[in-house]
Amino acid sequence: MSNQAYTIIFYLFAAITVFSAAFVVFSRNVIYSAFSLLFTFFGAAAIYVFLSADFIAVTQVVVYVGGILVLLLFGVMFTNSIMQTDLKTDVLNMVPGTILLVATLTGILYTFYSTHSWMPSTKQLQGSIVERIGFETMSGFVLPFEMASIVLLVALLGAAFLARFEKQGNKEQ
Amino acid sequence: MEQLTHIGLNHYLTISAFLLGFGLFAVMTRKNAIVILMGVELILNAANINFLAFSKYNGDMAGVMFSLFVIVLAAAEAAIALAIVINIFKLFRSVDVSSIDTLKE
């Protein structure tokens, strides 16, 4: 791929990610926010491919789009009645929020662009890294890997416990 | 112009900064608990982009592995948070976080 096409495609996905993220935040309709989040996640997955992390990109699509987004949509549908057409969300702290947004952005971007350029390593990640992820998981990161499995098991049990249907409470009422 | 056309670390960090700012804004200004969760997901994605960008330009695998764990923990966090939100909805008939101000029924 030529360098120019690479740049154009990068900017395309960067624009998709940033603008859909902005729409998630500034849209008042919860359903619009949820569907715009879909584009943000896909754009982030494309950015991961640019960062030569193809396995992370696929994981992003499977876990975020297939799992978390469906869960969020389920939450949106569940916590609003079906006949309610305007799933609006109110805002508060608009001025402090805007100040925080602008201050964060200008602070971070000013620091990036005013200081001297980064010194990248001579050995950057190139190509597919799936095999290296497998080696790292079973060597250097085997303890976090096992801890993550325990955390997922506990989270599964906890979520099922928290969201269960309470028969006892209903009988008392 | 050279800096604009040659994609480097700063470009990825800029995208990440935007996602972080929007996520903070959503957490700060929204009343709906679900939209606050969306803001948290945006912040986690920003952190992931930073991890992967530094990992690529540093040439080691630590950032890639941590971003994988971030995704795993984000899934667990979303499941628990949705369970809590649904419980709050059962109790208060609303997910407006500014109206939920009692510790006990």
Residue B105 lies in a domain: no
Sorting pLDDT into bands at 50, 70 and 90, what band is A78? confident
Contact (CB, 8 A) for B71 and B51: no
Q: How far is CA A162 from CA A80, B74, B76, B84, B97, in A?
A: 19, 18, 13, 7, 18
Three-class SS state of B30: strand
pLDDT of residue A122: 81
Query: For residue B45, what is the domain's CATH number?
Result: 1.10.287.3510
Structural domain count, chain B = 1
Residues 6+ apart with CB under 8 A from B1: none
Residue B100 lies in a domain: no
ipTM, two decimals, is: 0.90
pLDDT of residue B46: 95
pLDDT of B5-50, one tens digit each? 788 888 999 999 999 999 999 999 888 888 899 999 999 999 999 9
Residue A169 has pLDDT above 60, yes or no: no
Chain-chain contact of A37 with B96 (C-beta, under 8 angstroms): no
For residue A123, the chain B residues in CB contact (below 8 A) are: 59
Average pLDDT of chain A, as a whole number: 85
For residue B7, the chain A residues in CB contact (below 8 A) are: 6-7, 10, 50
Q: Containing domain of residue B73, as a range?
A: 2-92
Residue B19 lies in a domain: yes
Q: Which residues pair with A29 in a beta bridge?
A: A88
pLDDT of B48-99, one tens digit each? 999 999 999 988 889 999 999 999 999 999 999 988 888 888 888 877 887 7
Q: How far is CA B29 from CA A121, B22, B23, B46, in A?
A: 40, 10, 10, 19
Residue A173 has pLDDT above 70, yes or no: no
Residue B50 lies in a domain: yes
